Structure 1
Amino acid sequence: MPPATPLSRPHARRLREVYRSAGWPWQDAVELELLALGLLERVPGDGRETVRLTDAGVQAAAQNVQRQQRARSAHEQLVERVARDMGRAGRIAWRGLMLRALLPGSDAAAPRWCLACPDVFSIRNTSVAHYVEPVVHEIKVSRADLLADLRQPAKRAAYLDLGGQCWYVLGRDARGRAIGDADDVPPECGVLALAEDGGLALQRPAPRRERAALPFHVWMALARATPCAGLDEDVQLPLRAG
């Protein structure tokens, strides 16, 4: 029988690797634990031994794939919702951008460039460059993903370099439980949380930071990308001749 609790990422990844490979053993702790759980088995051969998934291992790997698909679907739905909310608020929003950000240097190191991929990046719909007020929204629907993200201060620093505000939007897990709250997120970021009724509840506003006009390379990235749809088409009544 597969384990009652979901597999850790290293264990799930190893099952997929073994399934796709010729079964060469790693002979490490992850393989040893999977053998003990009955998800892998040793197969003697001509002068060598390989490993393969047991029936329970196949089921565990398939269940893990299904969980990942559900998580991706929930993540995409929440990303789409936030992007549409930005459009309804009169902003222009983009999803899946890859933008260069400047990370501040330490005492011994100079500032350095990195690539940042915010879930939603939006600006005000204005023709005045200094009024664009860029905002980053990072969406999380898994507590493990949230905690892993929070352990990367450079990622938050990149988002803060790109936006005058940075928000974390916290969804709910497969059982409908909140994955976190404002206490989990550093104070330099705002927090929105998906409520039980499906609304987005403000848990902490994002501090506003003075932000000059967007740098040229960001404008070029926005120009090459397609923004998300704005207001729903059925919100505005068609114009009729009087």
Structure 2
Amino acid sequence: MSSPAPPAIGTAHHRRLRAVWHSAGWPYQDLLEVELLTAGLLQRQQDAQGRDTVRVTDAGLQLLHQTLLKNRAARDEHEQLVAQVARAMQRAGRVVWRGLSLRARVGGEAGIDGEAEPSWAIAMPDVYSIRHTTVEDYVEPVAHEIKVRRADLLADLRRPAKGEAYRWLSGECWYVLRAGIARPEEIPPVYGVLVAEADGGLDVARPAPRRPMRLPFMVWMALARATPEPVDDDAQPGLGAVPDAPG
């Protein structure tokens, strides 16, 4: 009789390994722990008082280290792409913020019979920008959300309130995707899609729907308290230059 196949190790197993590594090793005694023990990533042992505990094995530590390197690489790639999009918006003559936390309204309109009362959420677009103008009607706020991993993108798309908050804050919303993680048609049509190619280019796979809007006063106040992204010399458009950045 052949031995059973080892269990597939997924995200939940990685989280449990990290939890055990940070804890005193008290066992959960559930099926997830059984799979980690069977895979050789955890090991049962007894403490000085004879109580059962578990510890992360050398194989488990190696898996945690590989996961750390993978996540660190993804964060670095994400930040590089965020910086690239920010520079593209600056070349287009826009004022840019990274890492903003803005209150946004989601849900139905207040005071309309038959619709749910609105609620408030914190929106944190990767890149948020407005036109450099003194005319309020020409501000044209734009939000860019950057994704370099497919799992992160799919998790985002399962949270429609997040996208609704972005649309409340901006007249255009874009997803910027690392090439190969998704097809443009997988992204809801309310978003534009930019594809970050391996050669460093940003290709417009689908333009973002544009709608006129005025920024709510609370957003103006949040922008006034925040610090815009510093403009480097390479992002400064020359006199008479026509910005070539999308969005």
Q: Flag the 1:216–1:108 CA change in 2: closer, same or farther, 3 A.
A: closer
- Normalised by the length of structure 2, the TM-score is 0.86
SS at match of 1:52: strand
Residue 70 of structure 1 is matched in structure 2 by 73
User: 1:162 & 1:236 partners in 2: Cα distance?
Assistant: 26
1:57-136 → structure 2 map (5 Å cutoff): 57-105=60-108, 107=114, 109-136=116-143
Q: Deviation at 1:233? A: 5.1
Q: In structure 1, which of residues 160, 163, 166 is the aligned counterpart of residue 167 of structure 2?
A: 160
Residue 87 of structure 1 contacts residue 229 of structure 1 at CA under 8 Å; is this kept in 2? no
**RMSD after superposition:** 2.0
Q: Tell me how far 1:147 sits from its aligned partner.
A: 0.4
- Equivalent runs, 1:223-234 vs 2, <5 Å: 223-232=224-233
Kindly provide the CA deviation profile for residues 138-190 of structure 1, in whole angstroms up to 9, marking residues without a partner as x. 00000000001001110000000101000000015xxxxx1112111100000
> Residue 201 in 1 paired to residue 203 in 2?
yes
Q: Report the 3-state secondary structure (helix = DSSP H, G, I; strand = E; otherwise coil) of the residue aligned with 1:30.
A: helix
Is 1:21 the counterpart of 2:23? The answer is yes
1:108 Cα deviation from its structure 2 partner? 5.1
Q: Deviations over 1:27-60 (max 9, x none)?
A: 2232222112111111123342111111100000
SS at match of 2:74: helix
Structure 1 residues 145-154 or 221-230, which shifts more? Answer: 221-230
Q: Which runs of 5+ in 1 are unaligned?
A: 1-5, 173-177, 238-242
Moved segments of 4+, more than 3 Å: 233-237
Evaluate the alpha carbon distance shift between residue 100 and residue 26 of structure 1 in structure 2; reply closer, same or farther with a 3 A threshold. Answer: same
1:191 aligns to what SS in structure 2?
Answer: strand
Distance 1:190 1:233, change over 3 A: closer
How many correspondences in the alignment? Answer: 227
The aligned counterpart of 2:181 is 179
Query: Distance between the aligned counterparts of 1:99 and 1:201, measured in 2?
Result: 28
CA distance in 2, matches of 1:234, 1:9: 39
1:175 aligns with none
Task: Tell me what 2:216 maps to.
Answer: 215
Question: Is this contact kept in 1: 2:92–2:237, CA < 8 A?
Answer: no
